[in-house]
Amino acid sequence: MDAAYISALAALSGSAIGALASFATTWLTQHAQARATLLVQDRARREALYGEFIREASTLFGDAFRHEFDDPAKLVNLYARVSKIRLFGEPDTLREAERVMQRIGETYFSPNKDLAAFASIRHAGDLDPLCEFSSVCRKELAIARR
């Protein structure tokens, strides 16, 4: 074989290897960036969902504290949010969301309470059904940050 051919083949194979390495590097970078974007979007979706759930559950718990259960439609939005948590949340978060929902139902069917009981809400676990849910959400979102 002629030395010119060997030199030409070496140059072509070097170019091909360089192009392949460049392609692989670009693909890996794009893949990592796309994955990071998806993780950020997923975390933002969970934050919004959990915030909506907390807002809705707080409103319903306050209503259940002072009123009888007169309209099942009041719970529809809460049930919808729990179902969304089933889709996107972790099992521990779902378990706590269902517990909060059950607690709200129990509160609606229990005798109405005096508003003065809210004065000690920081010290009474019975009056803060969202405390454990919030803690579980914080843990889940901290893991999603990594």
Does some domain include residue 12?
no
Does some domain include residue 62?
yes
Task: Tell which residue, 109, 108, 60, has the closest CA to residue 80.
Answer: 60
Does some domain include residue 93?
yes
CB atoms closer than 10 angstroms to residue 26: 10
Does some domain include residue 48?
yes
In angstroms, how far is CA 8 from the centroid of its own chain? 57
CB atoms closer than 10 angstroms to residue 2: 7
What pLDDT, in 10s, does the model give residues 102-123? 998 888 888 777 666 666 655 5
Q: Which domain does 48 fall in, by range?
A: 40-145
* Domain count across the chain: 1
- The 3-state DSSP class for residue 121 equals coil
Does some domain include residue 3?
no
Does some domain include residue 7?
no
Does some domain include residue 34?
no
| pTM given for the model | 0.73
- List own/partner pairs for 35-39 with CB under 8 A and 24 or more apart: 39/144
What pLDDT, in 10s, does the model give residues 60-117? 988 887 878 788 888 899 999 999 999 988 999 999 999 999 998 888 888 777 666 6
